Amino acid sequence: MNLSYDEIRRIYRLEKSTARLVDVDPDFYNSLNEFVLAEREKYLKSLKEFSLEEARDFANLKKMVEEIFLFRQKKILSLALVSSRNGSDMMDEHLGRQEQKLFGDVLELLNEHKSLLGTLFGEKSAASSSAKESAGLNTLSLKILKEVPAFIGTDMKEYGPFSSGETVKLPNKVAKLFLDRKMAELLDH
C-alpha cells in the first residue's frame, strides 16, 4: 500500500466523522511508517533550506497521524469492550496487524477483569481454565527467583514447574510460602 498526503487526509476525515473504523490495509502502519520516514527526510532537508512550507506540511502530517491513531485507539477499545460484554470475539476486519494484537490483548484483559465479577459471587466463568481459576481476589502476582519443580498446593491443586524469571499468579497461601522462602518476589499491580 502506497500512502500519500491525500490518502492520509481521506482516512483522517473518515475516522473523525464516523463511529466505525475506516477500512485500512493490514500493513497500514508499516506503510505509514515508510511514508513518515520519507517525509521526515524531506522535512529535515527543508530545515536546512529554510523552507517553511515543507516544515508546515510535516507538522500537519504529524498532527493528522496522531489524531488518526487516537481515533482508531478509541474505536478499538470500544469494540473490545462490546466484545467482552457480549462474550464474543468480533474483531473488526478493518484493523491493521498491530491493531489486531491490541484488540486481542485488550479483550483478554477485559475478559479476565470480567471474571472478577463472577469470582465475587462465587461463579466460575465457562471460559476459565485451571490457570485462570486462581485469578481472582485471593491471588498474588509473583516473579519466580529460583527453579521450582511441580508441586501440590494446600488447595490440592498442582502448580509448576516454574522457571527462574517467570511471572505467575498464585493463591495467597501458596504465594506467601514462596515469598517467605525467598523463592519469589511480589510484583506491583
Residues 111 and 35 in one domain: yes
> What was the pLDDT predicted at 137?
63
Residues 67 and 154 in one domain: no
Final residue of a structural domain among 120, 153, 170: 120
User: Is beta strand 184-186 parallel, antiparallel or unpaired with respect to 139-144?
Assistant: antiparallel
Residue 26 counted as domain residue? yes
Residues 74 and 149 in one domain: no
Final residue of a structural domain among 71, 92, 120: 120
58 has pLDDT over 80: yes
Average pLDDT over residues 88-109: 82
Task: Report whether 154 contacts 174 (CB < 8 A).
Answer: yes
129 has pLDDT over 70: no
What does pLDDT average to over the chain? 83
Residues 113 and 182 in one domain: no
pLDDT digits 0-9 by tens, 132-188: 444 456 788 899 999 988 887 766 778 888 999 999 888 888 888 888 889 999 887
- DSSP state letters, 41-74: HHHHHHHHTT-HHHHHHHHHHHHHHHHHHHHHHH
127 has pLDDT over 50: no
> What was the pLDDT predicted at 89?
67
For residue 29, what are the domain limits? 5-120
Residue 127 counted as domain residue? no
End-to-end CA distance of the chain: 40
Residues 95 and 166 in one domain: no
Total of domains in the chain: 2
123 has pLDDT over 70: no
Please calculate the CA angle 16-18-24 and round it to the nearest 5 degrees.
80
Final residue of a structural domain among 90, 120, 150: 120
Q: How confident is the model at residue 17 (pLDDT cuts 50, 70, 90)?
A: very high
Residues 147 and 63 in one domain: no
Handedness of CA 44, 70, 84, 14 (dihedral sign): negative
**CATH code, domain carrying 77:** 1.20.58.1030
> What was the pLDDT predicted at 135?
46
Residues 23 and 99 in one domain: yes
| Cell numbers found for residue 4 | 500519500
Residue 53 counted as domain residue? yes
* pTM of the predicted structure, to 2 decimals: 0.59
